[in-house]
Structure 1
Amino acid sequence: MSYRLGLDRCTGVLARIAPSGYFFALHIRKTLPLLREQTFPESWVEVYEREVYAVRDPIVAWGFSRTGVIRWSELDLPDPFDILGQARAHGLAFGASAAWGPISSRSIASIARSDREFTAEEIGTLAETLRRMHDVTEPPKALTDAQIEALRCIAEGDRYAAAAAKLAISESALKARLRSARESLKARTTTEAVRLAQGLQLV
């Protein structure tokens, strides 16, 4: 199964069990995730981002201090900004979160609904799905010198012709290097590959 198909299947599972939306951040390193997606109501997302709640969210704090799963109603961490209370006002009345992976590359996911608590089976599905997403998006530990050179040229703003000339290779050879770098990094585009490589400090 391809990386993209595997990830799409996982997000399909989350969408099915989370009628009020879901969120995930995969392989968080130095505070930035390699991949992130959310489908919570825009009204809530606007408040959350405007108030920079990510640095104050008790769910995020829980996700970096423990692995496993938890219902939001069972969270025992302080919430001085009433973030969970504010989320309820936007239709996220009941939620569950999961955390997985080493602290140096942590993945966190949350699901929400407005009508009832999540069942134990649904929470188990959340945990299993997050583990699958974490595994299928595991970034490489290294790239080849040829891949790094090609990505570095693009990162520095070179167009394909200029990058190929700088590396003394043909344009088709450059494109082949970029394609292999995208495949190694599991990136959909060269721009995304450059961003991921920079985040991993490979470029």
Structure 2
Amino acid sequence: MNRSLTELYDELAALAPEGYAVGLHIRYANPLIYFSKYPADWVEYYNANSYYLRDPLVFWGIGTTGTARWSEIPLPDPFGVLKKAAAHNMNFGVVSSYGPITSRSMAGICRSDREFSDEELTILADITARLHIAAKPPSDLTKAQIEALQCIANGDRHTAAAAKLGISESAFKARLSSARVRLEARTTSEAVKKAREYRLL
């Protein structure tokens, strides 16, 4: 895991006694990175009931940017998601949303004993912005870089891949090298993994 993300998750943990969850760079309803430290029984129940499709906090975060206490969000909750969360000791919470609609990031925190203070909301907003920046995917790869990585992903060896693309083996290796640099990957296999995670392949 990205070291800066781990450090930011630690900051969230210090702020949220009953846990937190983040969805970073949400595109087409799917986050590039999702990480949750909400109570395990709640996460299991939430996922089993597909509440992410019914959660007013998610709708609020996708629809706007900013930071708000759960109790202040004026959206209907016909499935009683927040009431059911309270049954898991998640009585008070805050959601923060940051970034453009095409690549939005959200973070939620909760506690059992009291509402979060204005200062804690400000801290969450800052952490959410830093998470968004730390998890920013690389700029798109070139067509040549994608083709080279795709060959490796398909199991081709360098010589065969170069022949398939009609280039020399050294040119093929240069494409892989430039793809690794752009993806900040140490190895070609790591570059393939990252390209898949970023949905570039």
TM interval, shorter chain, is: 0.7 to 0.9
- Residues matched between the structures, number: 192
Task: Specify the alignment match of 2:95 in structure 1.
Answer: 97
Q: CA deviation at 1:177?
A: 4.7
- Over the aligned positions, Cα root-mean-square deviation in angstroms equals 2.4
In the TM superposition, 1:30-179 aligns within 5 A as 30-155=28-153, 157-158=154-155, 162-163=157-158, 165-167=160-162, 168-169=168-169, 176-177=177-178, 179=180
Q: CA deviation at 1:86?
A: 0.5
TM-score (norm 2): 0.85
Deviations 1:83-128 (A, max 9, x none): 0011111121110000111111111110011111111111111100
Q: CA deviation at 1:37?
A: 0.5
TM-score (norm 1): 0.84
CA distance in 2, matches of 1:121, 1:189: 40
Asked if structure 1 preserves the Cα contact closer than 8 Å seen for 2:138 and 2:182, the reply is no
Task: Specify the alignment match of 2:165 in structure 1.
Answer: none
Q: CA deviation at 1:194?
A: 2.7
CA distance in 2, matches of 1:54, 1:141: 28
Change (3 A) 1:153 1:87: same
CA distance in 2, matches of 1:164, 1:31: 39
CA distance in 2, matches of 1:151, 1:172: 10
Asked if structure 1 preserves the Cα contact closer than 8 Å seen for 2:149 and 2:192, the reply is no
For structure 2, the residue ranges without an aligned partner over 5 or more in a row are 163-167
- Residue aligned with 1:189, SS: helix
Name the amino acid aligned to 2:41: S
Asked if structure 1 preserves the Cα contact closer than 8 Å seen for 2:148 and 2:161, the reply is no
Deviations 1:138-168 (A, max 9, x none): 223322344312321244x315xx2553125
CA distance in 2, matches of 1:123, 1:134: 17
Asked if structure 1 preserves the Cα contact closer than 8 Å seen for 2:183 and 2:194, the reply is yes
